[in-house]
A and B are shown apart, each in its own frame.
Chain A
Amino acid sequence: MKKTIIMIFVVTLFTMAFPQDFLLKNATVYTFDKGILKDTDILIRYGKISRIARDIPSAPGMKEIDLTGHSVIPGIIDSHNHIGLAGGINEFSENITPEVSMANAINSDDVAIFYCLTGGVTMTHTMHGSANPIGGENIVIKLKWGRPAEELWEKRATRTIKFALGENPKMANSPTAFPSTRAGISYSIQKSFIDAKEYRKKWNRYRNSLRSTKKKDRSKLVPPGRDFRMEALLEILDKKMVVRCHSYRAEESLELIRLSHELGFKIAAFEHIHQAYRIADELAKEKIGISIFIDSWNYKNEAAEFTPYGLELLHEKGVEISLNSDTSEIMRRLYMEAGKMRRYAGMDDLEALKTITLNPAKMLGVDGFTGSIEEGKEADLAIFDGHPLSGMSKCMLTMIEGVIYYDRAKDKFAGPPRKEVKK
């Protein structure tokens, strides 16, 4: 009797720890290393892609899904948005706020997470806003709808910090506050890092004097006060965090590149950057990626000079391109936006698909375990009922680490039906 109880306990533990195994049958599978595979099966075990081949035999305990006429793509990664946050996207109170982190504001109940899932999105780069020249730390979350906040945060990702240039940080202040010009923004950034370097010197001096002072006299030395803002800035200089910078115009972006050389920080990508096509050579040389809207423009002054055909120049020069929603309704149609890459940049299907999967994964340092369909990677997948880059298809099923978080057949509604709250 005891034995059976223990057995049941062990089995329950095992099934709790590992998700259901799946066998996806007869799908069109979009892989980047082996191309587009027709009539192919995917075996998912322990939440990972275990095998990709034709005619994989079924085994007991495995859930089979027939995907004839469907395509399977890697889970889509939205490389810039602000979902899953409990308000407070911008720390408006000051200009330079690298000490704040979005990790402290995760809201796993945000219905936007569900909307993302309905468009095949499995991961988002949830960012600080653009009110500050140097904003807060961003986070990467996996969209495990219904799971507690701490399970969403993907800590394996590269740490990123939000910078912002141009109209937004200019206008976030009252017109009389500093900075109100692009020059002022540049100076704010420069000054912050110079301050941080001074802060480090102060601590180094203190540590050196500790070493050169006899043990009994050490307590007389006064340590400098700790400053979390300065420490965050030093993490950027030490490349523990990379910069993701909101910018629109070409000249402000070049200016930040100049500052990055002068001060020693790494720019991973420019966000939005409508004028990237003007500095394709410079971006390629610096190996800086871009995270953009495909053809949304002209909504404000700095977004009024733009051409989506510029993507062809950027692609030719080898600039890494990823697409983002910035939290608008775009997040559930990123696959259509990627489809337009073929029209504007002359990409083929796989290159276009990379702009919403592998490219953002690389930029966020998560390509080791997600961002493509490969054996050994986590089963973060989106299943479409047709061509995955066409507006005439829709997402039917979204899976993260082998767990289904959206199933169109079951999830008719945007969320649980609302109940009237009694007072």
Chain B
Amino acid sequence: MKGRILAVITCILLLTTGTPAQSKVAIKGGKIVTVSGEVIENGMILIEGSMIAKIGKDITIPDGTKVFDYPDKMIYPGLISPVSSLGLSGIAMIRQVNDTTEPGKFNPEVSSFSAFYSWSNLIPNARDFGITTVMAVPSGGRISGKGVLASMNGWTPEDMFIRKEAALIVRFPGSTRSRGGSRDKKKKDDSSKEIKELREFFNKAHKYHLRREKYAAAEYNGKYEAMRAVWKNKLPVIISVVKSKDIKKAIQMAKDFSLNAILQNIYEGESVTKEIKESGYPVILDSMYQTNREWEDGCDKVFRLPAALHKAGIKFAFSQSRSATAFDLPIQASRAVAYGLPRDAAVRGLTLWPAQILGLKGYGALEEGYTADIIVTDGCILETSTRVLALFIQGKPVTGKSYFTKEYLRAKEKISGELK
């Protein structure tokens, strides 16, 4: 009888508190890089559920808290890769395992979440190097489709999704890339025609949106319907653009259609920082592993860009779109430091800024109320020698071994087949 009463009482208690008591985890570290605030020496992070409950130097640990202690180690927020093909593409050369690119020019209705492969080998691999959040995006055409924001931990795709439709990807028509400085005069630059076409599509989509707002019974159009989120929900529009004159045109278009725009790539951005700053649009950089396109660019043009943007007060994020080497993101960012970008700005460009640019609140920094995506390293995250020793995603320690680690262990023990 007594037992039954107890059971009833606990049931009531559980019901009143909503869910069972949240799991508590504490992480101690030698140096906590909060990103949004000061660096905390010998500090601690207290996690409740998936969130950071407290962070600081003197925190009393509640009973039943699991403590992870990393003396002399560094703690960072998880890295965010804002333009990636993780989960969408496998071996680069094989079409069968690539789901990034559709033929055709305007594909706003194509959403990458519907092809996201949560069991990809490449996901734990990237995670092992500190990447905890990615935006997997489609490519190709003028409007490639919509990208999905995903956390790097989970079983099914649904487990991983943070936001299923996180941005519209637009590849702005530009004068064709010319490498090594060849300038073919016969090949006329016909980008203006293409820009007109793109603007027309936006125009029609916008008109469609207004019509549907007014008359629910207005005729349905799949492509235009997919565009409505741009105005209805202020869906971010990532506009990839290379040349300086095209950057200006892209900004103009974004203003004309009052888009929540993010400029991407902007290889020639250095000469139009004023215009970008005035537009208020943030930037997602392309890979720092690019070759020069013109002689006159100078051999370090691509590495100088982040520092130039920083100086102009433009918010930017680093990116690395290749899925297999997604883990190289922080090393790429380190290159900008060699050419004048302060170290802390480089770290921000890997964490807080991509989160803010993508409108991902509560990510990219170690602060109370932020999602507990945390990585533990044995050195500066930008250093080529640094290893990620442990990571926590949404407050939970990640234990799954990556393909790289499994493969290493198999070769070490010379085990054919799976490990014990």
Shortest C-beta distance, A332 to chain B (Å), equals 8
Q: How large is the interface on A (under 10, 10 to 19, 20 to 34, 35 or more residues)?
A: 35 or more
- Comparing B33-41, B76-84, B154-162, B404-412, the segment that makes contact with chain A is B404-412
- Pair B298/A392 contact, Cβ less than 8 Å: no
Q: How large is the interface on B (under 10, 10 to 19, 20 to 34, 35 or more residues)?
A: 35 or more
Q: CA separation between A115 and B300, bound complex, in Å?
A: 10
Q: CA separation between A381 and B400, bound complex, in Å?
A: 44
- Pair A417/B296 contact, Cβ less than 8 Å: yes
Q: CA separation between A338 and B258, bound complex, in Å?
A: 47
Decide if B93 is an interface residue (CB 8 Å cutoff): yes
Decide if B94 is an interface residue (CB 8 Å cutoff): yes
Q: CA separation between A112 and B183, bound complex, in Å?
A: 19
5 nearest CB pairs, A to B: A339-B384, A391-B334, A298-B324, A309-B408, A342-B385
- Pair B290/A394 contact, Cβ less than 8 Å: no
- Pair B299/A414 contact, Cβ less than 8 Å: yes
Contact flags (1/0) for B375-403 with A, using CB distance below 8 Å?
Answer: 00000001111110000000000000001
Q: CA separation between A413 and B385, bound complex, in Å?
A: 31
Contact flags (1/0) for B259-303 with A, using CB distance below 8 Å?
Answer: 000000000000000000000000000000111100111111001
Interface centre among B180, B332, B338, B382 (most CB of A within 10 A): B338
Which residues of chain A in 107-126 are interfacial with respect to chain B, using CB atoms and an 8 Å cutoff? 111, 114-115, 118
Shortest C-beta distance, B342 to chain A (Å), equals 11
- Pair A111/B407 contact, Cβ less than 8 Å: no
Given contacts A118-B299, A329-B289, A413-B299, contact A307 B411 (CB under 8 A): yes
The chain A residue sitting closest to B404, CB to CB, is: A307
Decide if B310 is an interface residue (CB 8 Å cutoff): no
Decide if A333 is an interface residue (CB 8 Å cutoff): yes
Given contacts A114-B299, A307-B411, A413-B295, contact A391 B382 (CB under 8 A): yes
In the bound complex, residues from chain A placing their C-beta under 8 Å from that of B297 are 413-414
Given contacts A115-B299, A394-B338, contact A336 B91 (CB under 8 A): no
Q: CA separation between A329 and B384, bound complex, in Å?
A: 17
In the bound complex, residues from chain B placing their C-beta under 8 Å from that of A394 are 300, 303, 338-339
Q: CA separation between A92 and B91, bound complex, in Å?
A: 26
Given contacts A114-B299, A295-B328, A310-B411, contact A393 B338 (CB under 8 A): yes
Which of A304, A313, A414 has a CB less than 8 Å from the CB of B412? A313
Decide if A285 is an interface residue (CB 8 Å cutoff): no
Which of A296, A305, A385, A418 has a CB less than 8 Å from the CB of B296? A418
- Pair A300/B382 contact, Cβ less than 8 Å: no
By a beta-carbon cutoff of 8 Å, the part of chain B in contact with chain A is: 90-94, 122, 180-181, 289-292, 295-300, 303, 323-325, 327-328, 331-332, 334-335, 337-339, 343, 382-387, 403-405, 407-408, 411-412
Given contacts A114-B299, A392-B343, A414-B295, contact A339 B385 (CB under 8 A): yes
The chain A residue sitting closest to B122, CB to CB, is: A298
Which of B94, B323, B338, B403 has a CB less than 8 Å from the CB of A392? B338
Decide if A389 is an interface residue (CB 8 Å cutoff): yes
Decide if A343 is an interface residue (CB 8 Å cutoff): yes
Given contacts A313-B412, A417-B295, contact A304 B91 (CB under 8 A): yes
Q: CA separation between A413 and B181, bound complex, in Å?
A: 12
The chain B residue sitting closest to A279, CB to CB, is: B411
Given contacts A308-B404, A313-B411, A413-B298, contact A392 B382 (CB under 8 A): yes
Decide if A277 is an interface residue (CB 8 Å cutoff): yes
Q: CA separation between A115 and B52, bound complex, in Å?
A: 46
Shortest C-beta distance, A16 to chain B (Å), equals 29
- Pair A392/B91 contact, Cβ less than 8 Å: no
By a beta-carbon cutoff of 8 Å, the part of chain A in contact with chain B is: 111, 114-115, 118, 277-278, 280, 295-301, 303-310, 312-313, 329-330, 332-333, 336, 339-340, 342-343, 385-386, 389-394, 411-418
Q: CA separation between A280 and B180, bound complex, in Å?
A: 40
Given contacts A118-B300, A277-B408, A390-B334, contact A301 B91 (CB under 8 A): yes
In the bound complex, residues from chain B placing their C-beta under 8 Å from that of A418 are 181, 295-296
- Pair A307/B93 contact, Cβ less than 8 Å: no
In the bound complex, residues from chain B placing their C-beta under 8 Å from that of A329 are 289-291
Given contacts A390-B383, A418-B296, contact A296 B325 (CB under 8 A): yes
Q: CA separation between A305 and B403, bound complex, in Å?
A: 9
14 further A-B contacts with Cβ under 8 Å, apart from A298-B122, A299-B92, A389-B384, are A277-B408, A295-B325, A296-B324, A299-B324, A300-B91, A301-B94, A336-B334, A340-B331, A340-B385, A343-B385, A343-B387, A389-B385, A390-B384, A412-B298
Given contacts A295-B325, A313-B408, contact A336 B295 (CB under 8 A): no
In the bound complex, residues from chain B placing their C-beta under 8 Å from that of A304 are 90-91
Q: CA separation between A412 and B335, bound complex, in Å?
A: 18
Q: CA separation between A312 and B411, bound complex, in Å?
A: 11
Q: CA separation between A385 and B300, bound complex, in Å?
A: 15
- Pair A391/B405 contact, Cβ less than 8 Å: no
Given contacts A340-B384, A391-B337, A392-B338, contact A415 B295 (CB under 8 A): yes
Which of B324, B338, B385, B404 has a CB less than 8 Å from the CB of A309? B404
